[in-house]
Structure 1
Amino acid sequence: MEQNLSTSLLEATTAMEARTATTSSFDFERDKPGLLSDELTKTLYVTNFVILNCLICCFGLVSNALNMAVYRKQGLREASNVSFFGLSVSDFCMLVFQLWMGVIEIPRLVTSSDLGVFLSELTYVIGRPQRSALVRTSVWITVFITLQRCACVVKPLKVKALFTLRRTRIFIVACALFFMLNSIPLYLGLDIGNKFIPKTNTSRLGVIKKAPTILSGTTVFTSMFFQLFSLCAIVLSNIVLLCAMRQRRYRLRHLVSGLSDQGAFEMSSRVGAEAAVPPADVAAFNRWKKDKKMNKMVLLLSSLQLVSFTPSAIAFMVSLLEPKITPTGRYKNVFDTVWGFVVVLEALNASINIVWYYSMSSRYKSTINEMFGWGTGPAARSGGGHGRKVGGRE
Structure 2
Amino acid sequence: MNQGLVNHTGIPGSSEGHMAVTQVPMVTLWKQADGVLIYPTILVLFLSILGVTTNILNILVFTRMGLQETTTSSMLALAVSDLICCIMAFWTYLCYVPAFRDIPGLPFQSIEVAQETGQNFRPYVIRTGALITAFITLERCLCVVIPLKVKKVITLTVTRVTIVIIYIITIVPYIAHPFQYKLDWKFYPSLNRTIVGSVVKEDPIAFFFLVFNAYLCGFSYLLLASGVVLVCTLFLVITLVRSSRWRESVRKQTQLSIEKSVNLKASGSKREDRLIKMVVVIAIMFIVCTTPGTIVMFIVSVSQEYIEGERFLPSTLLLQACLFTFETVNNSLNFFVYYMIGTRFRVVFRQLVGLKEDTTSS
After superposing the two structures, state which structure 1 stretch, 290-299 or 235-244, moved more: 235-244
After superposing the two structures, state which structure 1 stretch, 315-324 or 143-152, moved more: 315-324
Report the number of matched residues. 345
Q: Which runs of 5+ in 1 are unaligned?
A: 1-9, 19-25, 31-35, 258-262, 267-274, 389-394
Cα offset for 1:281? 0.5
Between the aligned partners of 2:34 and 2:319, the Cα distance in structure 1 is 12
**Change in 2 beyond 3 A, CA 1:110/1:328:** farther
- The residue type equivalent to 1:282 in the other structure is N
What secondary structure is seen at the aligned counterpart in 1 of 2:329? Answer: helix
Tell me, yes or no, if the aligned pair for 1:29 and 1:328 is still in contact at 8 Å.
Answer: no
- The residue type equivalent to 1:17 in the other structure is G
What secondary structure is seen at the aligned counterpart in 1 of 2:108? Answer: coil
Tell me, yes or no, if the aligned pair for 1:154 and 1:244 is still in contact at 8 Å.
Answer: no
Between the aligned partners of 1:351 and 1:364, the Cα distance in structure 2 is 17
- The residue type equivalent to 2:209 in the other structure is L
Cα offset for 1:334? 1.1
Pairing 1:94–2:85 present: yes
Q: How does 1:276-291 map to 2 (within 5 A)?
A: 278-291=259-272
Tell me, yes or no, if the aligned pair for 1:152 and 1:159 is still in contact at 8 Å.
Answer: yes
Q: State the partner residue of 1:180.
A: 171
Q: State the partner residue of 1:43.
A: 35
Cα offset for 1:315? 2.2
Between the aligned partners of 2:257 and 2:49, the Cα distance in structure 1 is 46
- The residue type equivalent to 2:224 in the other structure is F
Cα offset for 1:300? 0.7
Between the aligned partners of 1:231 and 1:374, the Cα distance in structure 2 is 38
**Change in 2 beyond 3 A, CA 1:29/1:74:** closer
What secondary structure is seen at the aligned counterpart in 1 of 2:197? Answer: strand
Between the aligned partners of 1:151 and 1:103, the Cα distance in structure 2 is 42
Q: Which runs of 5+ in 2 are unaligned?
A: 1-5, 15-20
Pairing 1:371–2:362 present: no
Between the aligned partners of 2:91 and 2:190, the Cα distance in structure 1 is 29
What secondary structure is seen at the aligned counterpart in 2 of 1:124? Answer: helix
**Change in 2 beyond 3 A, CA 1:159/1:226:** same
After superposing the two structures, state which structure 1 stretch, 318-327 or 78-87, moved more: 318-327
Tell me, yes or no, if the aligned pair for 2:10 and 2:300 is still in contact at 8 Å.
Answer: no
Tell me, yes or no, if the aligned pair for 1:133 and 1:176 is still in contact at 8 Å.
Answer: no
Q: State the partner residue of 2:17.
A: none
Q: Deviations over 1:367-389 (max 9, x none)?
A: 1222233235xxx7xx6xx647x
Cα offset for 1:298? 0.8
Between the aligned partners of 1:47 and 1:335, the Cα distance in structure 2 is 16
Tell me, yes or no, if the aligned pair for 1:253 and 1:265 is still in contact at 8 Å.
Answer: no
Pairing 1:233–2:222 present: no
- The residue type equivalent to 1:360 in the other structure is I
- The residue type equivalent to 1:374 in the other structure is L
Cα offset for 1:90? 1.1
Q: How does 1:213-228 map to 2 (within 5 A)?
A: 213-221=207-215, 222-228=217-223
**Change in 2 beyond 3 A, CA 1:249/1:240:** same
Which one of 13, 19, 28 corresponds to residue 23 of structure 2? Answer: 28
Cα offset for 1:99? 1.2
Cα offset for 1:88? 1.0
**Change in 2 beyond 3 A, CA 1:353/1:105:** same
- The residue type equivalent to 2:127 in the other structure is R
Q: State the partner residue of 1:21.
A: none
**TM-score, length-normalised on structure 1?**
0.78
**TM-score, length-normalised on structure 2?**
0.84
Which one of 283, 302, 305 corresponds to residue 302 of structure 1? Answer: 283
Compute the RMSD of aligned alpha carbons.
3.1
**Change in 2 beyond 3 A, CA 1:129/1:371:** same
**Change in 2 beyond 3 A, CA 1:112/1:350:** same
Pairing 1:357–2:346 present: no
Cα offset for 1:116? 3.5
Q: State the partner residue of 2:111.
A: 120
Cα offset for 1:327? 9.9
Cα offset for 1:326? 5.4
Q: State the partner residue of 2:11.
A: 15
Between the aligned partners of 1:264 and 1:300, the Cα distance in structure 2 is 31
**Change in 2 beyond 3 A, CA 1:283/1:48:** same
Cα offset for 1:128? 1.9
Q: How does 1:250-265 map to 2 (within 5 A)?
A: 264-265=253-254
Cα offset for 1:17? 0.9
Tell me, yes or no, if the aligned pair for 1:67 and 1:85 is still in contact at 8 Å.
Answer: yes
Tell me, yes or no, if the aligned pair for 2:10 and 2:316 is still in contact at 8 Å.
Answer: no
Answer with 1 or 2: which has the greater Rg.
Answer: 1
Between the aligned partners of 1:206 and 1:42, the Cα distance in structure 2 is 21
- The residue type equivalent to 2:234 in the other structure is I
Q: Deviations over 1:208-241 (max 9, x none)?
A: 2344532222122221222222221211111222
Tell me, yes or no, if the aligned pair for 1:325 and 1:335 is still in contact at 8 Å.
Answer: no
Q: Which has more helix, going by share of residues?
A: 2
Q: How does 1:78-227 map to 2 (within 5 A)?
A: 78-112=69-103, 114-211=105-202, 213-221=207-215, 222-227=217-222
Q: Deviations over 1:310-347 (max 9, x none)?
A: 11112222332235545983211111001101111211
Tell me, yes or no, if the aligned pair for 1:189 and 1:210 is still in contact at 8 Å.
Answer: yes
Between the aligned partners of 2:340 and 2:136, the Cα distance in structure 1 is 18
Cα offset for 1:27? 8.0
Tell me, yes or no, if the aligned pair for 1:191 and 1:208 is still in contact at 8 Å.
Answer: yes
Cα offset for 1:202? 3.2
Tell me, yes or no, if the aligned pair for 1:82 and 1:169 is still in contact at 8 Å.
Answer: yes
Cα offset for 1:277? 7.3
